[in-house]
Amino acid sequence: MTPEGGEAVAKAPGGPRRTAVGLILAFVFYAAVAVVLTWPLAIHGGSHYFSPETPGDGVANIANTWYAGYAGEKGLSGQKPTIYAYPFGYDLTGVPVYPLSSGLENQVARLLGPQGAYSLMLLLSFPMAGAAMFALVFYLTRSFPASFAGGFLYAFSPWHTSRTFDQLSLTAVYTLPLFVLAMLVFYRRKDLVSAAGVALAAVIAFYTDLHFGLFCAAMAVIFAASAGLVRLRRRRPRTGRRVSRRRTALLVAAVILVVALAVMPFLKWPFGKRSRAVATQSRETVAEAGMFSADPWNYVIPPAHSLSWSWFTDEFVGKRLGARTSNEVTDYPGLVTYALAAVALVLLVRRVRRRADIESEVDSPWTADGRSSELLLYFCTLSAVSAFILSLPPTFHIGAAEIPAPSYLVLKLVPYFRYFCRWALVFVFVVCLLAGLGLAMLIRGRSCSRRASWSIALVLLALFCLDVTIIPPLRSHDVRQPPATLEALAGYPASEPVAIYPLAQGNEYATLHFRYFQQFHEHPMLNGVEPGTEDDLYRLALKDIYSPYTPSMLAGLGIKKVAVLDSYYRSREFGNNPTGVPFDPALMPRGYELVEETSDGYIYDVVAAPAAVYPLYDQNLSPPSILDDGRAWTAMLRPQAAIRLENRGPASSYAMDLVVADPDGQGELKVELDGKPLTAVRFGSGSWHLQLPPVELSHGRHNLSLQWSGPPVDVYGKQFRLEGTVPVYLLLGEPQLRVDD
């Protein structure tokens, strides 16, 4: 048989029944190891969460699943629910709902609840990944020990295990070996059934996560290029049944058409308005993509929390995370995996050089035939190298010059896929595949007995576990108990919208936790506004709970209650409060009325008169940040800046107050309203209370421009969520407006 012939591949040892039994036993073993690794998640799936780190995206995933059930139960509809991000709503049109990940999770949640569904799918991701790789390696090698080892290396690779900490849809890594297996079968058979298998595998990948679909599409292109390269290098008469090139081309075209039609509904996410909006933010997008790209060290440093290396890796990885979580920098497949992959490459190169015939060495044509070995060599090498390159930042610097990398083109065409570190999965997949091939060729080349083969495989897997397993493996813990304050909030009418402080950004840990705990109190909440939107400007204006004008603005938005979680104020871990300043109830202004104090916070009624005008930090102003005095300040980053005044009520005369702090020196501050001079005031260093003369504000938007003549002061930008050192001209805080009687 040749790679392009039509004969059946060599039969598996013991026949199809034994192969099926082996696959089932491997699945069961992988599942058992997953249960041990995540224990006691399997028996407490409805309340436990598996992660050695603070949960983030995972609890948001559970919150989304809860909302899907809640919306169905309450008869809610629409693409902009206001159960969170109240009263603005959160636009769900850009939130992917994949039928085979989040869609399936929503269905399972009907039986097990949101958290139970999440836990079950997480646990199943291990045996499914292992079984898919087992099937792929077995198809290529007909070796049970090698297939078992290859499946284990892939299922429990650090890339996959670390993704289970937070990102459920990305744990379905079984899609890659399933798709490659389908391609190999089609390459052998080139018939309608095998073509349908490729189409089905591709649709499964896209329906699980668009990233998997992208990776499979890229590997399909590389596979086709590799097959073409082999054909060019090895022109020889074919043996066996001749397959029409035209028929093959038609089958390939049919597969592409079917897959394209099947995934068309999902293209609104990578090519929709949100993706286009991201593309217009050129510098910000490149910076974000660079932050969430891989570094070469990601591939050679063991993961954080590893059994043998945590004394080194925890500190090393922690210092280099930045805004990332550890799973975004975990691309290390393990020393054993690398070693076996290297063996495979060496032996494949040798076979390609001598153009081994079908009769040589083993009974699997894929590891014996020279042409097949050459195809595997090209495909695996090109896939790994391409994935490695695409996982790196979109630009690099040579001196002062910024040079675009290949991933820059992807960023410009489809910014949706700007988290380039995820390409490392393809690299890990290929290395694990090569590891399985390497072990098969190694033990067969040495004519090892069955017992010796299994002994070698098990010893290598034990070394692999020592190298990469998280420490300790018992990392499942109970997260269902809400803070006492939110538990108490459930005792008040759910019709009363609430703002939970600290009012962190919509994608920060604190807000993701607040959304998770919403299932216990069911109050609509201000928290969860999408970052970077017009609505988020309101959240920024409301960040300072102590500001005298905040209660009025909250009341104007329909917020009836404020819940303060003191532990979240104190913790820097949640990213909302760089200084870790604790909450001080003595600083609360008029407009709040304390109704309950709990062991970890406070609940207030909002009793202030509703505001109509909202001062929103707009141009050349940093996001407000809580500084050492416990108050929110925004930094003026240019000599000219602007505050937007949104009048949501009728026209009226307003007086405005603003606290201004000059970090150093002195100068003149000129203020204009809608282009008309309003006042000019000279300041020295220190803090000043600026009172502006009454102005007439009609309904709608107005622009309050500020121009400062004094020098800037260079400050550490992190306290304002900015990178590096930034120039600060003035600090602004506590804006408030009142009707001028």
pTM score of the predicted model: 0.87
How much is the pLDDT for 370? 58
* Region 265-283 average pLDDT: 59
Sheet with 640-647: strands ordered across = 613-619, 640-647, 700-708, 667-673, 676-683
Neighbour tally for 456: CB within 10 Å: 18
* Region 671-687 average pLDDT: 86
* DSSP 8-state secondary structure symbol assigned to residue 174: T
How much is the pLDDT for 9? 43
* Region 100-107 average pLDDT: 92
For residue 331, give Cα distances in angstroms to 37, 210, 306. Answer: 19, 20, 13
Quick check: 245 pLDDT over 50?
A: yes
* Region 552-570 average pLDDT: 90
Quick check: 634 pLDDT over 80?
A: yes
Question: Which tens digit of pLDDT belongs to each residue from 35-48?
Answer: 999 999 999 999 99
Q: What is the mean pLDDT of the chain?
A: 85
Quick check: 17 pLDDT over 90?
A: no
How much is the pLDDT for 154? 97
Distance of CA 417 to the CA centre of its chain: 11
How much is the pLDDT for 409? 82
User: CA 564 to CA 483: how far, in whole Å?
Assistant: 10
How much is the pLDDT for 390? 92
In terms of pLDDT, which residue wins out, 166 or 356? 166
SS3 (DSSP) at 561 = strand
> What share of the chain in percent tops pLDDT 70?
89
Question: Which tens digit of pLDDT belongs to each residue from 638-661?
Answer: 999 999 999 998 999 988 888 888
How much is the pLDDT for 317? 83
User: CA 526 to CA 85: how far, in whole Å?
Assistant: 5
* Region 198-224 average pLDDT: 95
SS3 (DSSP) at 252 = helix
Residue 215: burial class (beta carbons within 10 Å; 0-12, 13-18, 19+): buried
How much is the pLDDT for 524? 94
* Region 126-154 average pLDDT: 95
As beta bridge partners, residue 83 has none
Inter-residue contact 578 to 718 (CB < 8 Å): yes
- How sure is the predictor about 6, in pLDDT bands with cuts at 50, 70 and 90? very low
Quick check: 198 pLDDT over 60?
A: yes
Helix 273-280 and helix 282-291: axis angle, to 10°? 100
Which residue is it, tokens 């306290």?
719
